[in-house]
Amino acid sequence: MQTAAHPLEPFFQHEVTTIFDGKLGLNDPELTGYVARVLCNFSEEGSLFLSRPTAGHPIEELVSMIRASDPVYGSAPSFDAERSMRKYIGDYALFVAGMVPEALDCDYSGPARHPSLGELIQAGKESYYIVSQFNVFEYKKEAPLFARLSDQFERYVLGLALVREELGKRLAMAPQFG
C-alpha cells in the first residue's frame, strides 16, 4: 500500500476523484492523483504562490518564467531545467485558473496586471505540451500524462473549479468556532 506524501493528499485525492469521475466522467486515477498533488503543493505555506503579496504572479512574471524556461534563447541552464520550469508553469496555470479565479485579470489596464484566463490556459497547455515532449529515458512513463493535461487543459480547469465550489459549500456548512 502506498502512503501519502502529504497529509492533505488523501483528502484532495478523494475530492478530485469524486468531481472528475462523478461530474466530468473522467476515470483516470493517474491524472486525479497528479492533480491532488498539485493542490497539495500549492497548499503549502512556503509555496511560491502563497508567499506572494498578491493573489498570483503578475503577467510580467508569467512571461518572464516562460522566457526563462527556454534553454536556447532564455536563461534555463539545461533541458531538464526547462522541463522543470514548464511543469511548474503548467501546474501554476491549472491551479490558479481552477482554484483562484480572483487572481485572473478581467481589467487589462495597469502596470502589474495579472494574466487573463485565456493567457493562463495558453501558458498551461503549451507548458504541459512541452513537458510531454520529454518522452525518453526517465521521463518516458510520465509523458502521456502531460500530453493528456495539455490536450484537455480546459476540462481539468473546469474540474478544479467544481472542486473549489464543493469545498466552498463544505466550509459554509462547517460549524463556526469563535
Residue 53, SS3?
coil
Q: What is the pLDDT along the chain (178 residues), one digit of tens a residue?
A: 455 579 999 999 999 999 999 999 999 999 999 999 999 999 886 564 433 434 456 667 888 889 889 888 888 899 999 999 999 999 999 999 999 888 776 665 555 677 889 999 999 999 999 999 999 999 999 999 999 999 999 999 999 999 999 999 988 887 876 5
124 closest CA partner among 160, 162, 161, 95: 95
pLDDT digits (tens, 9 = 90+) for 45-97: 656 443 343 445 666 788 888 988 988 888 889 999 999 999 999 999 999 99
Name the pTM for this structure.
Answer: 0.87
Residue 74, SS3?
coil
Q: How far apart are CA 171 and CA 68, in angstroms?
A: 39
CA angle at 121 for the pair 42 and 19, rounded to the nearest 5° = 60
Q: How many residues does the chain have?
A: 178
Show me where the domains of the chain are located.
9-167
Q: Quote helix, strand, coil % in the chain, to nearest 5.
A: 65, 0, 35
